[in-house]
């Protein structure tokens, strides 16, 4: 009987500590060079990422006590390819992300980082100028350019070079 009360107490105390999942935070590199040491300070949480390559994105959510814990001033820091520390300051308010209250929606905050600037976007943003599509295209181009810079423009000197004497070299 004594254990019954302890179990009931534990169950009731756990249910009062209910946590909800935050909107997903996407961090994307829309530049053609890597971005390092990313840290975004939200009102009650810090999201960090060591490095992100061109055209890539990473996402994360966390648990919070109530929806209001997500809103407020956000400060992001990152190092560009020249090792310069960049800072972005912006705020997210409930009117920027009303879908946070709907458990059937997929709320998110997208942070597009460039070498010297940033863009933000939420799933509730009115996209009159097709910002999300433009940024996605920019990320694809940045990724392609990074691959070309890494592999396409400078042939590996350790590879054997074969030349056909009847045909001119093609590079």
| Helix, strand, coil percent values for the chain (each to nearest 5) | 30, 30, 40
Is the pLDDT at 146 greater than 90? The verdict is no
Segment 148-153 mean pLDDT: 71
pLDDT recorded at residue 134: 80
pLDDT recorded at residue 100: 92
pLDDT recorded at residue 79: 97
Gap between the Cα atoms of 129 and 126, Å rounded: 9
Domains identified in the chain and CATH numbers: 15-151 (2.60.40.2890)
47 CA to centre of own chain: 9
Residue 135 banded pLDDT, cuts 50, 70, 90: confident
pLDDT recorded at residue 66: 93
Is the pLDDT at 165 greater than 60? The verdict is yes
- Say how many C-beta atoms besides its own lie within 10 A of residue 142's C-beta: 21
Is the pLDDT at 13 greater than 60? The verdict is no
Comparing 156 with 59, the larger pLDDT belongs to 59
pLDDT recorded at residue 156: 58
Comparing 47 with 124, the larger pLDDT belongs to 47
> Which range among 88-92, 99-103, 135-139, 147-151 shows the weakest confidence by mean pLDDT?
147-151
CA distances (Å), origin 154, targets 31, 68, 140, 167: 21, 51, 21, 21
Gap between the Cα atoms of 95 and 160, Å rounded: 60
Using a 10 angstrom Cβ sphere, with 0-12 exposed, 13-18 middle and 19 or more buried, the burial of residue 78 is: buried
């Amino acid at each position: 009987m004594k254990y019954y009360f302890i179990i009931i107490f534990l169950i009731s105390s756990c249910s009062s500590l209910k946590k909800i999942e935050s909107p997903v935070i996407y961090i994307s590199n829309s530049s053609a060079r890597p971005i390092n040491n990313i840290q975004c300070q939200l009102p009650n949480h810090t999201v960090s990422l060591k490095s992100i390559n061109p055209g890539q994105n990473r996402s994360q959510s966390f648990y919070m006590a109530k929806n209001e814990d997500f809103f407020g001033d956000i400060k992001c820091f990152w190092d560009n390819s020249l090792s310069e520390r960049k800072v972005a300051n912006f705020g997210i308010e409930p009117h920027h992300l009303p879908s946070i209250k709907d458990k059937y929606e997929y709320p998110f905050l997208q942070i597009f980082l460039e070498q010297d600037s940033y863009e933000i976007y939420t799933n509730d943003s009115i996209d009159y100028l097709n910002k999300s599509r433009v940024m996605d295209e920019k990320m694809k181009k940045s990724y392609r350019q990074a691959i070309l810079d890494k592999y396409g423009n400078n042939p590996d000197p350790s590879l054997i070079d074969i030349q056909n004497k009847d045909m001119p070299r093609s590079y």
